[in-house]
Chains A and B, each alone.
Chain A
Amino acid sequence: MSGRDVVIVDGVRTPFAKSGGVLKSVHPADLGKTALKELIARTNLDVNLVEEVIMGNAGNPVDAVNVSRVVALGAGIPLKTSAYTVHRNCASAMESIASGYERIKSGTMDVVIAGGTESMSQMPLLMSSAFTKLFEKLGAAKTAGQRLGILGSLLKADVKQIIDMVTTAPLAETPYKPIIGVVKGLTDPFVGINMGQTAEILAKEFGLSREDQDAFALLSHQKAVKATKEGRLRPEIAPVFLPPSFSDVVNDDVGPRDGQSMEALAKLKPFFDRATGTITAGNSCPITDGAAAVLLMSREKAKALGYKPLATIRSYGFAGLEPERMGLGPAYSTPVALKRAGLSMKDIGLVELNEAFAAQVLSCLKAFDSDDFAQKRLGLNSKIGGVSPDIVNVNGGAIALGHPVGATGTRLVVTLMKEMHRRDVQFGLATLCIGGGQGGSMILEKEA
């Protein structure tokens, strides 16, 4: 391992917007391009210097399977520069930074753009098994008579589909209903439960009340609204001009609700466990569209080019745990990252901990502060270290801003880095839980 430092010159993101909202018709590649173009402009970057573009993405758009390459070329990165897409589910855009970090740290490269993009609005509806079979048959049919027969079956299947749509629950699967890609993506393929259900498990195991969770969610909105109103997030946001009129310009995150209240939150029904559950749409993050990108360099290169980087990456760490408790991921990955950085939790002055669910964040905070957890689950001597809620997600988190799966990792790093400068904090932690049962953490040090 070389002694090279890897620095983040700057970072930028698009506004985040709830899926089906203002950004729904923007292709994920175009979201990524918006972030990259703005990053390149703000850093006055000579694009010829870029050696690799790494983008995180979870939805894997069918018309842009290596979406990173599409983003790179569209953003004006030269043809000669390679680009690839990484997928670590919710941490894809933290993995992209980690991958870039490794390339630079090893001395292989000097300049890498990393980031992530996601349009959860544009995740596809897939054809169900019954229809797939019929279309396969139709393709193989040789005579007009055969075709006519299959068309008849199709008509019957259509009728069954309509009946199923009307008579079954919206998310219930039948052989006839189209499969909703985004729902599949949010269901664990190993243990077969939905992400919300993993949060229910944590809420029950950590004894988190509905009120605690709603209070946390409310605070997230309040902090995000305040930060937005004060223009604190503007420096990290690249506006999106919407074609064809371009007169609609999205400058700010769409999620934060100014009038959010405990009463309004209390009215929502538990979504995943109707009878005894506490997880609602109000104390979970919404599915979201957005993109983010950072410019990574070796310290030597940044200096030679006259840049004043915002942060150094001190370390990163990923770790695995039971898929059904995936929300606790940060409690597993953070000690790894701390150890690699040679730091302890006391040193951390600011934290961005992704808010997939209020229950999951609160569980992590409890776990950080628990000797028992550390000893039993992590095999450590004592607790990782308590974190004051005052330094966590100070500008609000995903419950208000949203969580575009493949972009969030970079968004956390960008937001953290900028706030570390505003608060003059030396060390910061960005961490998030990962569907499938992992956690990811990254530790930054502020550059003077």
Chain B
Amino acid sequence: MSIQESIQLSYDGELAFIDFDLYGEKVNKLNTPIMMRLKEVLDEVRTSKARAVIFRSKKNKIFIAGADIDEIKSMNKREEFVKAVENGQAIINMIEDLPMPTIASIHGACMGGGCELVLACDYRIASEDSSTRIGLPETKLGIIPGFGGCVRLPRVVGVQAALEIILQGKTVVVAKALKMGLVDKCVHAGILEKETIKWAKEIVSKGGKKRKATYKPKSMVNSILESFVGRPVVFSKARETVLKSTHGHYPSPLKAVDVISKTYGMADRTEALRIEREAFADMALTDVSRSLIHVFYLTEMVKKQTGIAEGSTSTAKDVDHLGILGAGTMGGGIAYVAADKGVHVRMKDINNEALSRGFKHAYDLWAKLLKRRSINKFEFQQKIDLVTGGLDFAGFGQMDVVVEAIVEDMEIKKKVIGETAKHMRPDAIIATNTSSLSVTEMAKGHPHPAYFAGMHFFNPVHKMPLVEVIRGEQTSDETTATIFELSKRMGKMPVVVKDGPGFLVNRLLLPYMSEAAFLLNEGMSIEVVDEAYVKEFGMPMGPFALMDEVGLDVCIKVLKIFKKAFGARIEMAPCMEVLEKTGRLGRKNNKGFYLYDEKGNRGAVDQSIYSELGLKPATNPLTTKECIERGVFMMINECSLALLEDRIVETPHEVDLAMIMGTGFPPFRGGLLKYADSVGTEYIVDQLESYAVAKGARLKPHNPLRNMAKTKRTFYN
């Protein structure tokens, strides 16, 4: 019965209505049973007396969200993929082949399979609602559109616009969809139903013609680019752009270009769809796709989490007013992400100059959005209005949460936290944005440590999605849940971590960055190492560039903290000892491993650094494989302790999410531990053993990792 209800067919006069309402779910998705039901409905309507068919959704702000990822995940044989896609394509073809005109009435998300379904309709009308977004995000999951999207979208909107959507996995808002011809009309959500029916009747009264929307270039340049003369240029340019941004790590956008270039304008639909289907199967079988789907599930996991154990009776409190201590880069960034989502922000700093910088930081980011027309001038003003500041604790009595982002000094922080608490409601929360100090120790500065936690943002705050929510020993469930929820509201991905040196991400990153310094000592050049990590491994930047970003002084300071906490297994490369005395701080003072221009843009490696650190000119004696393995395996090695022994987080999922969202660890590898599992713990232990013999005891595999290797276990089971 439930499947029957999921797609309902009804008639009103000469109109037929096909309503999607997936039973027991908040969203409409396409899977095999639903597609079979759709087939049933289409078979019935085809032979009915209806003179037009309208496709609608009964869900709130969702048309069809796309294919059911669970189903894709459950398949692993080529024949399975081919078969499933072939069936789907055939059913979408049935829509296209209905004898009467078809109209899609779109309100809410219309993605992937949903978008492919409406592309098979003759006419498309959409609501102006901000929830209405249409697009094909398949390449973000390492696959390509398989229900005819690669074939029909270019026909409707032209090759250039189709490539833009498909290669980047983009969705577009209604205004843009209308402009590019993806929809024919848009109206207010409140009258969508009425207008759809009116339009359908109009189409019927004019003879009920079928239609195949085809893109018509408006300018001469476009006519040339879209013609057989210009298209090869467009395709090769697209391939080039993809390669440049992905370093070849993501095959699906390239595959999509292949499919589109082969099938565009092809008269034989069966052949075109066969090409698309085979390509889809190729992509679905790749490790990259498996990894990206894994990452998709990680992000879905966070959406459902609350930050506290299931069964806890605590819930997150609403946060309308956020205080920020310290209007520096971090404080200003936090003010931006909070106010951007409608939270009232009050910054406090010790002088107007400092406050100015905080205001400017947020203002400039919104000014960019204004310039790009992502927001209009009224929205811009509203956002600016949400940020205020002062030199005293004025307003702190109304703050629900205060984030502390002042100087990294335990005693100063404790004092300021105690002082701040005096000006706040007793049930308000203070969170520290410390990156290296103990939250439990810092909590001693707060009169009620239950209301104290860590909320560790990553720099630059507006770009890095991760927030480490640090539970001190006495942090309450309610506090944890509130900070977790607040992070989500700010558009971030929170991961709850236990207190401990470097928490999770910095604890793993430090041995990795530190190992890079050893590579430098051994004669590797900065360029070769960084480039290997970026181009071969897929990191957004190499370890030296990363150290510059973090701040060289901070790296050294944290290294020392780690040495104190973890003893002998943390070693400092000789060149790091020298570095401390050079006054190079990285991007902060435009002097680091790299050169920076006056705007702070990173340029080439500063060649004078080798002699300054007492190093001979680089001879690059090591293979890039060794360079990468030593850095990445050091992270995995440290993670075996952090996860299994210290239980900083509870699951490998959290490690992978944190590393991807906090450091840009390549998503196509699925995260640090997914990557470790794909390489195998035995191999990692063997390699670390041999590196340890040749390069130093710090590389020795730790016991938890050794045990895993012995028993051939992976992190994920």
Contact of B356 among A37, A41, A245, A251 (CB under 8 A): A245
B369-405 contact mask (Cβ, 8 Å, vs A): 1 or 0:
0000000000001101110111000111110000000
* Distance between A59 CB and nearest chain B CB, rounded to angstroms: 19
A244 to B394, CA, bound (A): 24
When the two chains form their complex, are residues B394 and A249 in contact, meaning their CB atoms are under 8 A apart? no
Closest A residue by C-beta to B385:
A74
- Residues of chain B within 8 A (CB-CB) of A245 are 356, 360
Given contact pairs A74-B385, A75-B385, A41 touches B346 in the complex (Cβ within 8 A): yes
A243 to B352, CA, bound (A): 13
Task: Tell me the A224-251 residues at the B interface (CB within 8 Å).
Answer: 239, 241, 243-247, 249, 251
- Residues of chain B within 8 A (CB-CB) of A251 are 352
- Residues of chain A within 8 A (CB-CB) of B386 are 76
A37 to B359, CA, bound (A): 15
Contact of B344 among A46, A76, A241 (CB under 8 A): A76
Judge if B254 is at the interface, Cβ distance under 8 Å.
Answer: no
28 contacts between A and B (CB under 8 A): A37-B388, A38-B390, A38-B394, A41-B394, A44-B394, A44-B395, A45-B398, A46-B398, A47-B398, A76-B344, A76-B386, A239-B352, A241-B352, A241-B359, A241-B389, A243-B359, A243-B363, A243-B384, A244-B360, A244-B363, A246-B355, A246-B356, A246-B357, A246-B360, A246-B363, A249-B355, A249-B356, A251-B352
Contact of B395 among A41, A239, A241, A243 (CB under 8 A): A41
* Distance between B390 CB and nearest chain A CB, rounded to angstroms: 6
- Residues of chain A within 8 A (CB-CB) of B388 are 37-38, 41
Closest B residue by C-beta to A245:
B360
Nearest 10 A-B pairs (CB), nearest first?
A44-B397, A41-B395, A246-B356, A41-B394, A74-B385, A246-B359, A249-B352, A42-B394, A246-B360, A37-B388
Residues of chain A at interface, number, CB under 8 A: 22
Task: Tell me the A178-198 residues at the B interface (CB within 8 Å).
Answer: none
Judge if A103 is at the interface, Cβ distance under 8 Å.
Answer: no
A246 to B397, CA, bound (A): 26
* Distance between A252 CB and nearest chain B CB, rounded to angstroms: 12
- Residues of chain A within 8 A (CB-CB) of B344 are 76
Judge if A33 is at the interface, Cβ distance under 8 Å.
Answer: yes
A336 to B109, CA, bound (A): 66
Judge if B367 is at the interface, Cβ distance under 8 Å.
Answer: yes
When the two chains form their complex, are residues A76 and B352 in contact, meaning their CB atoms are under 8 A apart? no
Judge if A337 is at the interface, Cβ distance under 8 Å.
Answer: no
Chain B CB within 10 Å — which of A41, A239, A243, A249 has the most?
A41
Given contact pairs A74-B382, A76-B386, A244-B367, A44 touches B398 in the complex (Cβ within 8 A): yes
A145 to B213, CA, bound (A): 43
- Residues of chain B within 8 A (CB-CB) of A46 are 398
Closest B residue by C-beta to A42:
B394
Closest B residue by C-beta to A33:
B385
A414 to B298, CA, bound (A): 56
Closest A residue by C-beta to B388:
A37
A38 to B390, CA, bound (A): 9
Judge if A40 is at the interface, Cβ distance under 8 Å.
Answer: yes
When the two chains form their complex, are residues A74 and B381 in contact, meaning their CB atoms are under 8 A apart? yes
* Distance between A209 CB and nearest chain B CB, rounded to angstroms: 44
B341-358 contact mask (Cβ, 8 Å, vs A): 1 or 0:
000101000001101110
A47 to B356, CA, bound (A): 25
Closest A residue by C-beta to B358:
A246
When the two chains form their complex, are residues A42 and B385 in contact, meaning their CB atoms are under 8 A apart? no
A40 to B396, CA, bound (A): 11
Task: Tell me the A293-315 residues at the B interface (CB within 8 Å).
Answer: none
A370-384 contact mask (Cβ, 8 Å, vs B): 1 or 0:
000000000000000
- Residues of chain A within 8 A (CB-CB) of B390 are 38, 41
A246 to B396, CA, bound (A): 23
A33 to B396, CA, bound (A): 18
Closest A residue by C-beta to B367:
A244
Closest B residue by C-beta to A37:
B388
- Residues of chain B within 8 A (CB-CB) of A45 are 398
A38 to B395, CA, bound (A): 8
A249 to B382, CA, bound (A): 21
When the two chains form their complex, are residues B395 and A40 in contact, meaning their CB atoms are under 8 A apart? yes
* Distance between B356 CB and nearest chain A CB, rounded to angstroms: 4
* Distance between B360 CB and nearest chain A CB, rounded to angstroms: 5
A140 to B346, CA, bound (A): 52
A249 to B349, CA, bound (A): 14
Besides A33-B385, A243-B384, A246-B357, 16 more A-B contacts (Cβ < 8 Å) are: A40-B395, A40-B398, A44-B394, A44-B398, A74-B382, A75-B385, A76-B344, A76-B385, A239-B352, A241-B359, A244-B360, A244-B367, A245-B356, A246-B359, A246-B363, A249-B352
- Residues of chain B within 8 A (CB-CB) of A40 are 395, 398
Closest A residue by C-beta to B391:
A239
Chain B CB within 10 Å — which of A33, A76, A244 has the most?
A76
A214 to B495, CA, bound (A): 70
Chain A CB within 10 Å — which of B382, B384, B394 has the most?
B394
A245-275 contact mask (Cβ, 8 Å, vs B): 1 or 0:
1110101000000000000000000000000
A42 to B392, CA, bound (A): 9
* Distance between A278 CB and nearest chain B CB, rounded to angstroms: 42
Closest B residue by C-beta to A251:
B352
Closest B residue by C-beta to A45:
B398
* Distance between A409 CB and nearest chain B CB, rounded to angstroms: 24
A246 to B510, CA, bound (A): 37
* Distance between A38 CB and nearest chain B CB, rounded to angstroms: 7
* Distance between B625 CB and nearest chain A CB, rounded to angstroms: 49
A45 to B353, CA, bound (A): 27
- Residues of chain A within 8 A (CB-CB) of B384 are 243
A76 to B367, CA, bound (A): 21
Closest B residue by C-beta to A47:
B398
A239 to B391, CA, bound (A): 11
* Distance between A103 CB and nearest chain B CB, rounded to angstroms: 24
Closest B residue by C-beta to A46:
B398
When the two chains form their complex, are residues A241 and B346 in contact, meaning their CB atoms are under 8 A apart? no
Chain A CB within 10 Å — which of B346, B388, B389 has the most?
B388
A241 to B355, CA, bound (A): 9
- Residues of chain A within 8 A (CB-CB) of B389 are 241
- Residues of chain B within 8 A (CB-CB) of A38 are 388, 390, 394
- Residues of chain A within 8 A (CB-CB) of B353 are 247
When the two chains form their complex, are residues B356 and A247 in contact, meaning their CB atoms are under 8 A apart? yes
- Residues of chain A within 8 A (CB-CB) of B396 are 44
Closest A residue by C-beta to B355:
A241
Task: Tell me the A54-75 residues at the B interface (CB within 8 Å).
Answer: 74-75
A40 to B344, CA, bound (A): 12
A239 to B352, CA, bound (A): 9
- Residues of chain A within 8 A (CB-CB) of B385 are 33, 74-76
A251 to B356, CA, bound (A): 13
Closest B residue by C-beta to A242:
B356
A82-112 contact mask (Cβ, 8 Å, vs B): 1 or 0:
0000000000000000000000000000000
Task: Tell me the A201-220 residues at the B interface (CB within 8 Å).
Answer: none
A74 to B344, CA, bound (A): 11
A243 to B367, CA, bound (A): 11
- Residues of chain B within 8 A (CB-CB) of A247 are 353, 356, 360
Task: Tell me the A416-434 residues at the B interface (CB within 8 Å).
Answer: none
* Distance between B339 CB and nearest chain A CB, rounded to angstroms: 11
* Distance between B99 CB and nearest chain A CB, rounded to angstroms: 51
Chain A CB within 10 Å — which of B357, B385, B396 has the most?
B385
A249 to B357, CA, bound (A): 12
* Distance between B292 CB and nearest chain A CB, rounded to angstroms: 40
A45 to B395, CA, bound (A): 8
* Distance between B110 CB and nearest chain A CB, rounded to angstroms: 31
Closest A residue by C-beta to B423:
A44
Closest A residue by C-beta to B353:
A247
- Residues of chain A within 8 A (CB-CB) of B367 are 244
A16-54 contact mask (Cβ, 8 Å, vs B): 1 or 0:
000000000000000001000110111011110000000
A433 to B549, CA, bound (A): 61
A251 to B394, CA, bound (A): 17
Closest A residue by C-beta to B394:
A41
Closest A residue by C-beta to B395:
A41
